[in-house]
Amino acid sequence: MEKICFSNVNVIDVKNACILEQYNVVIAAGKIVSVTAQNEKDTGDMSVKIIDGTGKYLCPGVMDMHVHLVWEGTLADPLTANRMEGPYIAMIRALHNAQDSLRKGVTVVRDVGCNGDVTIFLADAMRKGLTWGCDIIPCGSAITGSCGHVPSLSRIADTDDELVKAVRTLKSLENHAAIKCQWIKVMATGGAAGPEDVGPSMYSYQNLCTVAEEAHRLHMKVSAHALSREGICACIDAGIDTIEHGADIPEEKMDVMREQGQTLIPTLWIYKVLAESKGIVDDYMNQKAKKVVEQQKITFRNAMDKGVRIALGTDAGSPNFGPHPSVYGEMYVMNEYGMSRQEVVKAATITSAEVLGIADAKGSIEVGKDGDVLLLTENPFDTLHAFETALESVYQRGKRIPAFDFQ
């Protein structure tokens, strides 16, 4: 494999929120093997391809903790489309979206719900070298109740016994795909994109404890769709690992989240889009989203103040949300709601890697990590728009990915 050196480049240090000016970064066999100041230039004995980084910025690949690759973001009713199309079309759409995401700088996604567990098998195919795209951390099909959120992306489970079986079924997919099923997704409440009421928790505290305990016993982590206060509190108390959306979190529960090491994935932009889409999406989506947005503005600010760990996730693929990826819109809203640009970039890189359990290989530019990097012509700490308007090239494990026109 080609050995490359980004010469005289400014390295985005996401851990320390600073710029390492005029460094050389060498990638060989897919791994970062050297990060040194320009005056300590050392590319080794092998033939090296030099990439001039003068005046440019090298950033770790961006991650999205909450996507639906089987949705494309342009359908007003993706739930019906999933039921009509089936898993084969869903697989092709997921592949297309994974490739577009990588071309635009998103090197890792966690897929949190698909029909037919297709993203588990897509991730397996990628790891076997049969196709390519961003790295996928799959949850497979979500778990929801009989009256729960997005049943077309889920397996139905109502009782504790059914929930245990659902968790074990997802774990059993390891026997069919050469990939560890590290995460599952449970729909704890209703949602803005479904006709059901957001208010009540779809599962009891005991139900959620059953899911968390069985998943953790099997060395899996749990993400939970949770919008209402009742459902969010039950998820936090049950030990769910990541709270998705989390619009209405009481401040005292934020203290619990921080102490227990739980993570908020706020997905701010999707609700802002739905709230501004009157006459485009169904009225119930528009009205519910408006309420969620007002709650999120308060919750997000309080969570930052309380020291709750926040990672970046978008709900990419959701109705009227536009094509994958959605990370950059999410970045802008996180910044708009009070998070600094440096913290936004950190949430999208090393923090997400830590939550996913892959920080030993991803999330920052350090020796020994994968060569997943973005070469930018502007500093993202100065403007987050650099990821869209100043993205010169994308590398996955040291291999340059074909360009994609944002226009």
**In-domain check, residue 405:** no
Q: Please compute the mean of the pLDDT values over residues 163-175 and round it to a whole number.
A: 91
Omega before residue 138 within 30° of 0, cis: no
**Domain presence at residue 277:** yes
What's the whole-number mean pLDDT along residues 137-163? 91
- Cβ(291)–Cβ(299) below 8 Å: no
Nearest by Cα to 239 from 264, 262, 266? 262
State the CATH number of the domain containing residue 238.
Answer: 3.20.20.140
Assigned domain for 48 exists: yes
Cβ–Cβ < 8 Å for 317, 67: yes
- Same domain? 90 vs 79: yes
In a domain, 322, yes or no: yes
Strands (E), 201-241: 221-226
Q: Are residues 74 and 55 in the same domain?
A: no
Radius of gyration for the alpha carbons in the chain, expressed in angstroms and rounded: 21
Q: Is residue 185 part of a domain?
A: yes
Q: Would you call 218 exposed, middle or buried from its count of C-beta atoms within 10 A (0-12, 13-18, 19+)?
A: middle
Contact, 381 vs 19, CB < 8 A?
A: yes
Q: Tell me, yes or no, whether 146 and 23 share the same domain.
A: no
**Domain-embedded: residue 407:** no
Give the model's confidence band at 79: pLDDT under 50 very low, under 70 low, under 90 confident, else very high.
low
Together in a domain, 149 and 286? yes
How many structural domains does the chain have?
2
Answer whether residue 184 shows pLDDT above 60: yes
Residue 226 sits in the same domain as residue 374: no
CA dist., res. 269 & res. 379, Å (int): 23
Residue range(s) defining the domain that contains residue 50? 3-60+365-400
Same domain as 307, residue 174: yes
pLDDT-derived band of residue 42, with 50, 70 and 90 as boundaries? low
Question: Do residue 284 and residue 239 come from a single domain?
Answer: yes
Question: pLDDT digit string (tens) for 274-303?
Answer: 888 877 777 878 888 899 999 999 999 999
The average pLDDT across 68-76 equals: 82
**160-172 helix and 205-217 helix, angle to the nearest 10 degrees:** 30
Final residue in a domain of this structure, among 322, 338, 356: 356
37 vs 27: CA distance, rounded Å: 15
The CATH code of the domain that includes 30 is: 2.30.40.10
Residue 1: pLDDT band (50, 70, 90) is low
User: Rounded distance, CA 15 to CA 359, Å?
Assistant: 11
Q: Which of the two residues, 39 and 209, has the higher pLDDT score? A: 209
Question: What is the arrangement of strands in the sheet containing 62-67, beginning at the earlier edge strand?
Answer: 62-67, 106-111, 135-138
What is the predicted pLDDT for the residue at 77? 62
Q: Are residues 225 and 351 in the same domain?
A: yes
Per-residue confidence at 189, pLDDT binned at 50, 70, 90?
very high
Which pairs with CB-CB distance under 8 Å and at least 24 residues apart come from 351-354? Answer: 351/309, 351/310, 351/311, 351/312, 352/63, 352/64, 352/65, 352/108, 352/311, 352/312, 353/63, 353/108
On whether both 371 and 268 belong to a single domain, the answer is: no
Please determine, for residue 406, whether its predicted confidence score (pLDDT) is greater than 50: no
Mind listing the pLDDT tens digit for each residue in 371-383? 999 999 999 999 9
Q: Which of 326, 263, 318 is nearest to 289 (CA)?
A: 318
Q: How many CB atoms lie within 10 A of CB 389?
A: 12
- φ, ψ of residue 384 to 5 degrees: the values are -65, -20
Nearest to 203 by CA among 145, 249, 244: 145
38/103 same-domain check: no
Instruction: Please tell me the distance from the alpha carbon of residue 156 to that of residue 159, in angstroms, as a whole number.
Output: 10
| Average pLDDT along the chain | 92
Q: What is the mean pLDDT of residues 184-195?
A: 85
pLDDT at 35 over 90: yes
What value does the mean pLDDT take over residues 201-223? Answer: 97
Section 119-146 average pLDDT: 94
Same domain (yes/no): 172, 248? yes
For the segment 318-364, what is each residue's pLDDT rounded down to a tens digit?
A: 877 888 999 999 999 999 999 999 999 999 999 999 999 999 999 99
Same domain? 42 vs 76:
no
> Considering the domain boundaries, does residue 231 fall inside one?
yes
- Per-residue pLDDT of 222-258, as tens digits, reads 999 999 999 999 999 999 999 999 999 999 999 999 9
Bridge partners (DSSP) listed for residue 36: 24
